[in-house]
Amino acid sequence: MAHETLRIVIADNESIIRMDLREMLEEAGHEVVGEAIDGRKAVELTRQHRPDLVIMDIKMPQMDGITAARKISEEKLAPVLLLTAFSQPEIVEKAKDSGVLGYLVKPVQENNLFPAIEIAMSRWREMQGLEQELAGLRDSLAMRKTLDRAKGILMAAHHLSEPEAYRRIQQYAMMKRLTVKEVAEAIVKAAGGKV
């Protein structure tokens, strides 16, 4: 599998850790597009650069990593990997609730960093795929409701059966080179309904 170059924001209030991370990431061919020393700045940089990944420490001034991760996750900006100096169960629990896609215990080792990045990226892609699927389902459900309303309007106005009403909508769509959805919406609107 070809190795992809990721654009990454790193956030840690310890400059030596940021330096180490930057070095490991750049040696692996990734690009560090922003560095932050607190959570608030990490969120700003993420909004600004739209990176592929954010690697962020939990304990930071102004806004901790978990709060920042929650904001980034809610805005669906990027996947977040959290860094922690200790693997306390309550921190891991909090991290899970914040939409974090992985976490690493410091000091970060190269052999832990890259597998964690892979996992975070694949979970992120999976989530994006599910959201698109859900949006598609919502659209088709709304479309079905509109189509049912349009058929109902035609059935009542022209004393048609449901299949006949649907056939009329299809024929009109073909004749006018419109989609069935567009015709159904037009019928509902013409009857004074909201689409």
Residues, the chain: 195
Alpha-carbon span 83 to 20, nearest angstrom: 13
pTM: 0.67
CATH superfamily of domain region 7-108? Response regulator (3.40.50.2300)
Alpha-carbon span 195 to 35, nearest angstrom: 46
The pLDDT tens digits for 131-156 are: 888 888 888 888 999 999 999 999 99
* Distance set, CA 182 to CA 21, 132, 172 (Å): 52, 22, 10
Residue 135: its pLDDT value, please? 87
Q: How many percent of the chain have pLDDT more than 90?
A: 52
Residue 1: its pLDDT value, please? 39
Contact 53, 81 (CB under 8 A): yes
Residue 117 pLDDT exceeds 50:
yes
The pLDDT tens digits for 149-182 are: 999 999 999 999 999 999 999 999 999 999 999 9
Q: Kindly report, as residue ranges, where domains of CATH 3.40.50.2300 are found in the chain.
A: 7-108
Rank 43-47, 85-89, 105-109, 133-137 by mean pLDDT and report only the highest. Answer: 43-47
Alpha-carbon span 136 to 143, nearest angstrom: 10
Closest of 118, 86, 126, 85 to residue 102, by C-alpha: 118
SS (H, E, C) the chain: CCCCCCEEEEECCCHHHHHHHHHHHHHCCCEEEEEECCHHHHHHHHHHHCCCEEEEECCCCCCCHHHHHHHHHHCCCCCEEEEECCCCHHHHHHHHHCCCCEEEECCCCHHHHHHHHHHHHHHHHHHHHHHHHHHHHHHHHHHHHHHHHHHHHHHHHHCCCHHHHHHHHHHHHHHHCCCHHHHHHHHHHHCCCCC
Residue 2: its pLDDT value, please? 43
Q: Domain 135-190 classified CATH 3.30.1340.30?
A: no
The pLDDT tens digits for 23-39 are: 999 999 999 999 999 99
Q: Kindly report, as residue ranges, where domains of CATH 1.10.10.10 are found in the chain.
A: 135-190
The pLDDT tens digits for 30-72 are: 999 999 999 999 999 999 999 999 999 988 888 888 889 999 9
Residue whose token pair is 């922690």: 84
